[in-house]
Amino acid sequence: MTSRRQTIADEIRSQIVTGQFQAGERLPSETSLASQFKVSTSTLRSALALLQSEGLVDKSHGKGNFVGHSSHRITYIGGGRKPQADPPVDPTLRVTVHASRLQAQGHLIPLMRVPANTELTQFVCIRNEGPPPHSLARIYVPGHLSQEGLHREQPSLANFETGLPLLCPPPTELRERLTARLPTRDEVEILRISPTLAVLDITRVAIDGTGRVVEAALLVLPSHRSDAYFITRPAPTAERREG
Amino acid sequence: MTSRRQTIADEIRSQIVTGQFQAGERLPSETSLASQFKVSTSTLRSALALLQSEGLVDKSHGKGNFVGHSSHRITYIGGGRKPQADPPVDPTLRVTVHASRLQAQGHLIPLMRVPANTELTQFVCIRNEGPPPHSLARIYVPGHLSQEGLHREQPSLANFETGLPLLCPPPTELRERLTARLPTRDEVEILRISPTLAVLDITRVAIDGTGRVVEAALLVLPSHRSDAYFITRPAPTAERREG
DNA sequence: GAGTGGTCTAGACCACGAG
DNA sequence: TCGTGGTCTAGACCACTCA
């Protein structure tokens, strides 16, 4: 048995990909779609949620549901790289950064590999590109580093290749962990996303040659418009090769 | 204003982390929790979905909701690496592989960088570790490669470091794209997951020295029990260093 | 104010798991 | 068979956007 949600999503999806609904066009209202498909609004909404998670539909409270521009995706580049092809820089790109001091607590202690109450500097970065915020980053730097590097770091933070901050001094090791989860209350508010739609949760830790953590970044991207890319070249170190 | 869902999720979450609900323990039924919190079952279920996405709750149709063992997470290691610390090998690990031949169609054509109708070999790998399947992988290899390498590949595919297949001959470049989306109908059935919970969608393309694609892997992991790790050492290539 | 999507209700009915 | 979670309904009411 296949669910109503899926068959409705399949139907609308095909109407989008075949061009019956043009990109950027507004879909009929949820109530009219619901009556058209002879389902309740809840069921219809769960079908739209599927399409939203695929980036095919953009929902907008009070305005309507729109056929998504698949080009509006955020790309996170892993491995500390810069994108080789320069991205289409959106002139409306705007990043707000709030810096503050705090002491290491809870999950920050193992993350930063520091004793409790160690001085840290926190940067909260919200990236806008058009009206809806696109990404949220919380970046932590040890206090002793930020004292010497704070001023140099500031321009580095502003240097968002893809809107997400990169380190100024390249560390010797980058560890990135990715997972998906539903957004927290705060993230729903800040990113203005649906609380039922997953976010990409990226934790990036930069380690220097002595094993110290020089930066930890907690990044949150709305999953329906985000991709993360990693390009690696496995070291050509004397790898046994069968002849 | 904060939603009922969030406050209920917060309440149950705190009862879990403070140990009022032990790991592995069954939670009260949804109907009883709903009446306890004075909400409808739908609202209570959406609160549980939050906790499920955090890995705190395992839902099981017909049995109940259980406090999750956070240790049961799947880890995908990016960059073609093997995990340094050997993972706790589960003796119940079981992988089913189905090989088949097909011709390049649709999205496989740009993915594999081949002309339409090129012969490909497809491996569909389903990994089990205990009753619920843990991951789904669809791996494509060009036909000309599989002819010379098919027999050697088979043991390589069985060599799952983390349950996910790796290439036998190391390619010169690995491209991995990660995103999160809701599962398809098939994925819901195969992985036995909730259709409302996101999956991690990983597309991995391996490229050889001549730019040819030697393997493409489409991996699907249930997000609530999966992490992807990437560890990179930014090349110490004559990077300008301030004195 | 009119129309939109977002949250929530109080059920009905179905599918699954275990005895 | 019984209790569980999963799907779906037909609304009510709230929040947002825009004229």
Per-residue pLDDT tens digits for A87-133 = 555 556 677 778 888 999 999 999 999 999 999 888 888 887 766 77
Q: Work out if B27's Cβ lies within 7 angstroms of strand D.
A: yes
Tokens of B230: 């990437």
Q: List phi, psi (to 5°) of A191.
A: -85, -10
| Of A202 and A88, more confident | A202
Among the listed ranges A70-79, A89-98, A125-134, B1-10, which one has the minimum average pLDDT value?
Answer: A89-98
Q: How far is the CA of B41 from the C1' of C17 (A)?
A: 21
pLDDT at A230: 92
Report whether pLDDT(A66) > 70.
yes
Give the span between the Cα atoms of B6 and A233, in whole angstroms: 43
CB contact under 8 A, A2 and B175: no
For the record, the structure tokens of A138 come out as 């919380």
Residue type present at position B90: D
Cα separation, B61 vs B118, in Å, equals: 42
Supply the pTM of this predicted model: 0.87
Mean pLDDT of A5-19: 95
Supply the pLDDT for residue A85. 52
**Spacing of C-alpha B243 from chain mean position:** 44
Neighbour count for residue B96 (Cβ, 10 Å): 10
Q: Which of A169, A198, A230 sits opposite B180 (nearest CB)?
A: A198
Q: Report the alpha-carbon distance of residue B63 to residue B53 in Å, rounded.
A: 19
**Out of B5, B152, B200, closest to residue A180 by CB:** B200
Q: Any idea which nucleotide's C1' is nearest the CA of B27? A: D4
Q: Among A76-80, B167-171, B217-221, which range has the highest average pLDDT?
A: B217-221
The strand ranges marked E within B88-192 are 93-103, 119-129, 133-142, 173-181
**What pLDDT score was predicted for residue B133?**
78
Q: Has residue B81 got a pLDDT over 70?
A: no
* CB < 8 Å to A241, chain B: 169
**How many Cβ atoms are within 10 Å of A216's Cβ, its own excluded?**
22
Q: Answer yes or no: is A46 CB < 7 A from strand C.
A: no
- Strand C contacted by A6 CB (< 7 A): no
Say if residue A148's pLDDT is above 70: no
Closest Cα of chain A to B180: distance in Å?
5
Residue of A nearest to B242 (CA): A169
Query: Which contiguous run of DSSP H or E holds residue B167?
Result: none
Q: Which residues on A lie below 8 Å from B222 (Cβ)?
A: none
Give the per-residue pLDDT at B160.
Answer: 44
Inter-chain touch A226–B179, beta carbons under 8 Å = yes
The pLDDT of residue A30 is above 70: yes
B223 to chain A nearest CA, in Å?
5
Residue type, A45: R
Q: E strands within chain A?
A: 57-60, 64-67, 74-77, 93-103, 119-129, 133-142, 173-181, 199-207, 213-222, 226-232
Closest partner CB to B185 (pick from A2, A172, A179): A2
B103 in contact with nucleic chain C (CB within 7 A)? no
pLDDT at residue A160, as a whole number: 44
Cβ-proximal residues to A124 (8 Å cutoff; 6+ apart), any chain = A97, A98, A100, A136, A137, A138, A139
Residues 6+ apart with CB under 8 A from B197: A198, B49, B52, B53, B182, B183, B222, B223, B224
Q: Can you give the pLDDT at residue B84?
A: 55
Beta-carbon separation of A231 and B80 below 8 A: no
- Number of residues that this document lists for chain B: 243
pLDDT for B154-193, tens place per residue? 434 434 443 445 455 667 888 999 999 999 999 999 998 9
Task: Name chain A contacts of B50, Cβ cutoff 8 Å.
Answer: 182
